[in-house]
Structures are given as C-alpha cells and as structure tokens.
Amino acid sequence: MTDNKVFWERWAKRYDGFMAGSRRTYGEVVRRMKHSLNRNMTVLELACGTGLLSIQLAGSVKLLEATDFSTEMIKQAKLKPCSSRLNFSVQDATNLPYSDELFDSVIISNALHIMPYPAAALSEIKRVLKPDGLLIAPTFTAADSFLGRMKIKIMELSGFKVFNKWTPDEYLKFLRKNGFSVISSDIYGGALKLTYAEAKTMQ
C-alpha cells in the first residue's frame, strides 16, 4: 500500500505555491488554533509539510516540535526564517520517538484523511499527550458533496491517494472511536470541506 511519500518528495518545492489558493482557509484555522494554545505549552505538530502552520504558531507556544515523514518537506521548511521556539525534524507519525505524556498539545492538520493507517497515528498521539492534553486535528472531509468527490477523483488520477473519504460526521465519529472526546468542531472551506476538531483523550 502506497503512503503518498513519493508524491510529497516530488512536490515539496512546489507545495507552498500549490497551497496558495487555500490561504484564506488556513488563516482562519491558524486564528482558531491560537485561541487554544498558550505560551506555557509544549506542542508537537505531525505532518507539518513545509511549515506553513508551524511558523505562524511558534510564537504562541513555549516550544513547537514540527515533524513530517517527508525529508524533502522538512528541507523546505528549514530554509525559512523561524522562531527559536520551533524545531523541524523527520518523524513517522505512527512510530514516534518521544516519551509518554510529553506534550500539552498535538496538532495534525490535513493529514489523517491521506494516511493509510490513521488509527495508528491517533494511538501514538494519545501516548505522547499529557492526560489533559489537547488534540487539534483539522482535516479535509469532502465525501458528502459531488464537487468534493470529483476533486478527490482528480487528485487520485494524478497519483495522490486519499485513503479515508470521510464526511464531517464520519470523521468526528472516527476520532471518538479511537479514544478521543471531541470538545469543539467547525467546518471551513467550500467543496473541499475542512472539518476542524479539537479533542481530548477519553479518561
């Protein structure tokens, strides 16, 4: 089963340009995240890509460890000027090197739907989160609209696999099924709906 890694390695240098069309939605997401973060928090970001969110969020937290499984994406991220509170590294979201209960918050943005094993990533997130830690996990959920399904089809024809074609409700149910209690959610964007979710581990 492919994991899209070859795609990301090939597209890393063009990724920022590709995402320019989503700047408004990402701006709304960043503002929402900043409301939930603070300068006392140690934060892990998974699937950070070229650091588009990381760089904007680093000034709002104590420390941000931003990671991606693509070496080329991290190379591009490290070329950008950024806060001393931000560190980039290559990591696998389903097999993290960090100790248990280390982070106040884990961010995984627009990634769970394109992971072949998203439940494994959530299991690792639960492990590294502190007991009252916060998961921030916006992801695209376009399966309930015709235009959304067509855009997914076009993406897959280009060699990019969308493993989890969730509707917003299905995505929130997936989080709950894997041990998280959703405390806040909203929907942003157009045809490619982005379901923003904040959750805590079920005790």
Residue 157 token pair: 């024809």
3-state secondary structure string, 18-74?
Answer: HHHHHHHHHHHHHHHHHHHCCCCCEEEEECCCCCHHHHHHHHHCCEEEEEECCHHHH
**How much of the chain, in percent, has pLDDT values that exceed 90?**
68
- What mean pLDDT value characterizes the chain? 89
pLDDT confidence band for 9 (50 / 70 / 90): confident
Residue 191 token pair: 């045809």
Of the listed ranges 32-41, 92-101, 126-135, 163-172, the one predicted with least confidence: 163-172
Query: Residue 61 above 70 pLDDT?
Result: yes
| pTM, two decimal places | 0.90
Q: What is the pLDDT of residue 1?
A: 47
Please state the rounded mean pLDDT for residues 143-148. Answer: 63
pLDDT confidence band for 154 (50 / 70 / 90): low
63-98 pLDDT tens trace: 999 999 999 999 999 999 989 999 999 999 999 999
Number of structural domains in the chain: 1
- How many Å separate Cα 20 from the centre of its chain? 17
Domain that holds residue 162: 5-201
Residue 194 token pair: 């982005």
pLDDT confidence band for 181 (50 / 70 / 90): very high
CATH number of domain containing 196: 3.40.50.150
Please state the rounded mean pLDDT for residues 19-43. Answer: 89
